[in-house]
Chains A and B, each alone.
Chain A
Amino acid sequence: MTDPSEPTTARSFEDLLGDCVHCGFCLPTCPTHVLWGQEMDSPRGRIHLMAQTHDDVLTEAAVGHFDNCLGCLACVTACPSGVAYDALIEHTRIRVEEEHDRPLPERALRGAIFALFPHRRRLRLLRGPLRAYQASGASSLVRRSGLLERVSPALATMERVAPPLSARPPALPERVPAVGRVRARVGMPLGCVQDAFFPEVNTATARVLAMEGCDVVIPRDQGCCGSLSGHAGRGAEAAGFAKALIACFERADVERIVVNSAGCGSGMRHTDRVLAEAGEDESWVRRGRAFAAKVVDLSEFLVELGPVAERHPIPLHAVYHDACHLSHGQGVTRQPRALLAAIPELRVSDLPDAEICCGSAGVYNLLKPEPARELGDRKAADAASTGADLLVSGNPGCSLQIASALDRAGTPMAVTHTARLLDASLRGLPVERLLRP
């Protein structure tokens, strides 16, 4: 007899597969099933493919359908039987990377992505050329030419999702002291994409935490958490990153590790599983478990902590977007809404079809630009239908994806992070600051 509530690290892959009773409740929440309406591109179908290929070779077809999965985990929320699809797909992706020979161009693209994204400094360096490129006015010309699309749809996507660059805020110090009485000592991972593309979100996060009475420790030597690699089946790479980050935050000696990027947080909560999958020894798995236990999303932490700082009014209409790796990956849906609800004069509404992924999904929009774009368009249309002034989300990837889709649709809307909205409220900033892209 199996108990799905047992930790998934303790159960075999085969055993986890057996939890699926084929009821199909996952189908309507799966973005690829929404797009294509075929069983193989649904969680139920993929689980079937996993079972088919469990003792057999990975067929080209099966790999294609595993690759199509955005890893949004909406199915995990929808499943009445508690199937650990997150563990299943992660394990399967590792196997795909190990056993399957991808065609050369695809391998090259993946190589390039993972040589770039999990590296803050490299990402940051990329911004120079991007900024120069935008400033020169060549951007719209190149877009119109369609040249980028021809060279590589993936590069075109990256170009499109890059937000217009403003002057980078000053780098955060290694410690931001609490305002008033110290209520907690927390560590803060910066995130790779967050740090490179949305440094102001990190600044806002640190400031909000400090204003709520936290000593914020931001280790300068921190690297990537490995979630991006882990979600893509690059198990060893993920474990390498994870180990470095564990060591880094062990040295920081913090009570909690407060994450403001949903994708990072959802991976970091399972650091022990990542290490175990990669075959790390038990002592590392234990350290991973202790690390994972400290990981908490910013919104979750702030609600738990309770407010001390005064909230100033923000007379706007905001629509809240549930980042998949926050809602489905970490079960955090109530807390961000509670935080927003506590801001005076802020009206908050929900998106229709809120449980469906926006198509960002880590590096999915780079690997599968077409479906990602279609999902982005749907999300943008849903966002526009609410008539809100700005969209709030807890994940940088979603922000990039939805902002670009809204622009594409000709319905631009300000997109911001929960932390920035809170920061503005705590500091009583004028709302224009938020609406500026």
Chain B
Amino acid sequence: MTRQGIEDVRAGGPDDAVCGVVPTHVARPRDTETLGRLLAGAAERGWSVAVRGGGTAQDWGGRPRTVDLLVDTGALTWIDHDAGDLVVEVGAGTPVAELTATLAKAGQRLSVDPVRAGGTVGGLLATGVCGPRRLRTGTLRNLVIGMTVVRADGVVARSGGRVVKNVAGYDLAKLHTGGYGTLGVIASAAFRLHPLPPALRVLDAPLPSREAATRALAALRRSTVVPAAVELDRAPGGRSHLHVVLEGTSAGVEARADETVRVLGAALAVEGRGTPGDGGTAMARGEGHGGTEDATSSDRAPENGVRVTDRLPDGWGLLPTEGTLIRLSVPPARSAAAAARAAELGDAVGTDLRTTGSARAGALVVAVPPGASAEVIGLLLEGLRSVPEWSATVLRAEPHVHEAGVDLWGEVPGLAVMRAIKDALDPGHRLAPGRFVTDRPDDLREEP
């Protein structure tokens, strides 16, 4: 019996806990091959295995039943950037910030907004949730072009490759993206990149009502300004804002921002003040704002209440680091209604919710403040899940919510197939047991 790869194991402590479960052992493999040997050794021992990257999502997903071995990917940090091909391949442990900085030097980026600060590429992939800038280039799943994964039995397997166009073989990276490491441990991944846009505009429009929000979103849909993000932000207390991000050339974003102000202004002016969409509209450019997109401060005077800046707001895309997070997916045209519905449900149970996310995509996140009871979370989920075509899954729950056995996932179409895949790739169900829907303990629902 081989012990290769297990030699560097240390004992786990409270800081290593995954959803409150302290691992028995922790290992930090130095490369993919070592990771393979490590998992082969764990397989021989029948150990359960969980993964940690930056440690920012250890409280995400379901609570694992046991963690015999925690794999720390912190040493799998390498970046292989083919700038000419707009492709990068990175080790799973590479901090997202480091990747971003490296790519920026070549004028490129991985076009997703991380939702947690301090995370790694592996964690980004395993949780699979990204922020609002997804309208032009999609989400992480649309950008991963290849992945190397270590299977539960320690076998290293690759799918995809390092070219942007490739249809050879199954796209298994899609299954691992958002799979919480339950089908294998991600060792590295290759991504398609995009050029960093030379200029950026962010429009901030206050939304007086749900109707106004719906109108503004519909008007944006009909326009051809091609935003990178349309983010709805419904703060506790009911104040709502729409953030529209435009990316492009400096001359381009300027003109598109004017157009967007006009479109939003017309949509928002219907109620409340004045004449909808009256002539002038395209806002007069502020003095001293002569199109130098690099100007440090160029906030414009609000036009129709719409404020234009050339910077993303602080903490753009980041989700709260405390409390419960519910991912709410709805048909895009229902985004405003969904945010309103969440708020109503929150009012009914006496808790202040914040709903943010890509309104254009229908991809929202409802943030519940820390301390909300399991019963409150359960009622919220029930209320959100009762609408046909909506799905609500808990991204992160507090320990008492786990303990109460709240159903984090709701109905998951295709679950039997997902379980069959799990059975095939991890027959012993040793990879993070309990962390993902495929081994939700209480679920007995099956496909017809």
Direct contact of A and B (CB under 8 A): no
